[in-house]
Amino acid sequence: MRRIAILTSGGDAPGMNAAIRALTRKAIHEGFEIFGIERGYLGIIEEKIFPLSNRDVGGIITQGGTMLKTARFPEFQNEEIQRKAYDILKTYDIDHLVVIGGDGSMRGATSLSKLGMSTMTIPCTIDNDMGGTQYTIGYDTALNTVVDAVGRIRDTSNSHERVAIVEVMGRKAGHIALKAGLACGAEIVLVPENPMPLHAVCRHLKETQIRGKEYSVILVAEGAYNSGEVKAFIKEHTEFDPSLTVLGYLQRGGGPSAFDAILAARMSEVCINLLMSGVANRLVGYIDGHIRALSYEEAERLEFPIDEKDYRLLSILSS
């Protein structure tokens, strides 16, 4: 019987549990033995490796977080540690390793595959910042969380006729900020890909006030600006005194949206099918409505940056 191990790594994201469940059940259905590894790559070194059954993954599909725990383990960039991990996996007779995580996690899988391990990566991060896929599991849920939160902030900003600054995650990418801005009607979105000078932000706020807007919402992607500095700048250069809300880890929690749970199921199915047919060392991505697996090199090259059309549309609609 062939053995598959799965781990979750990097920042957690809604849908990780749905992917663990789908991988486990699909793999068992196809006759594999399946093992969970706790705490990501660190768990390989700590030998936190244990068998998973269909029952072990019962009831987790709607739960946020990851039942396998996760960890950031920058030491895994060290080749000696990678070799140690490879050797440990081999002592457990693991034939394939499936990594659920973001781009750092995929790089870990790439390194292990270069040492001869058969690996697959399921893209899972709220940031949606991975090459080779238009959607990462967790992004849609985080977007919905942000839209819900901004709606509430908008209510109170409206009552108090105030400018509201809301900082969202996304690391170096503006996907969450831009799409959430479009979905909740933000007046201004600051993303790292399209830097808007703060003087222009102030000018925009004054113009919208002249046009009769009583309040404005500014979404700041964490990679674009320090939101505290944005607030201080606006306060210094205008008569506005903005509120500031940093949504933070709220965006990573919660059960997956239907879209993310279904994406997790479909990607997991393709992942196990590919391993059965002898294909490995791939990122399982979502491209133009289809689940497609690309080599790690292709995935790194095929970037899906923020949609400039969305950015232009947002500024038209926020007038």
Which parts are annotated binding residues for ATP?
11, 72-73, 102-105
Indicate whether 69 belongs to the interface with ligand F6P (CB under 6 A).
Answer: no
| CB-nearer residue toward ligand F6P: 126 or 263 | 126
Indicate whether 127 belongs to the interface with ligand F6P (CB under 6 A).
Answer: yes
Q: Tell which positions 191-250 bind ligand F6P, by CB under 6 A.
A: 222
| CB-nearer residue toward ligand F6P: 34 or 174 | 174
Of the residues 12, 127, 129, 260, which is catalytic?
127
Q: Give the gyration radius of the chain's Cα atoms.
A: 21
Indicate whether 154 belongs to the interface with ligand F6P (CB under 6 A).
Answer: no
Q: Which of 14, 15, 102, 123 binds ligand F6P (CB under 6 A)?
A: 102
Indicate whether 128 belongs to the interface with ligand F6P (CB under 6 A).
Answer: no
DSSP code string of the chain? --EEEEEE-SS--TTHHHHHHHHHHHHHHTT-EEEEETTHHHHHHTT-EEE--TGGGTT-TT--S-TT-----GGGGSHHHHHHHHHHHHHTT--EEEEEE-HHHHHHHHHHHHTT-EEEEEEB-TT---TT-S--BTHHHHHHHHHHHHHHHHHHHHHHT-EEEEEE--TT--HHHHHHHHHHT-SEEE-TTS---HHHHHHHHHHHHHTT---EEEEEETTT--HHHHHHHHHHHSS---EEEE-GGGGG-SPPPHHHHHHHHHHHHHHHHHHHTT--SEEEEEETTEEEEEEHHHHHH------HHHHHHHHHHT-
Number of residues that bind ligand F6P (CB under 6 A): 11
* Binding-site sequence positions for substrate: 125-127, 162, 169-171, 222, 249-252
| CB-nearer residue toward ligand F6P: 187 or 222 | 222
| CB-nearer residue toward ligand F6P: 208 or 257 | 257
Indicate whether 126 belongs to the interface with ligand F6P (CB under 6 A).
Answer: yes
| CB-nearer residue toward ligand F6P: 10 or 36 | 10
Residue from 94, 139, 18, 141 nearest 275 by CA: 94
* Catalytic-residue membership of 140: no
Q: Tell which positions 256-315 bind ligand F6P, by CB under 6 A.
A: none
Could you tell me the CA-to-CA distances from 94 to 2, 44, 129 in Å, in that order? 8, 11, 29
Indicate whether 138 belongs to the interface with ligand F6P (CB under 6 A).
Answer: no
Q: How far is the CB of 29 from ligand F6P (least distance, A)?
A: 31
| CB-nearer residue toward ligand F6P: 123 or 170 | 170
- Angle at which helix 258-276 crosses helix 139-160, to 10 degrees, equals 160
Indicate whether 11 belongs to the interface with ligand F6P (CB under 6 A).
Answer: yes
Q: Which of 170, 174, 181, 256 binds ligand F6P (CB under 6 A)?
A: 170
Indicate whether 252 belongs to the interface with ligand F6P (CB under 6 A).
Answer: yes
Indicate whether 106 belongs to the interface with ligand F6P (CB under 6 A).
Answer: no
Q: How far is the CB of 126 from ligand F6P (least distance, A)?
A: 6
Q: Which residues bind ligand F6P (CB under 6 A)?
A: 11, 72, 102, 125-127, 169-171, 222, 252
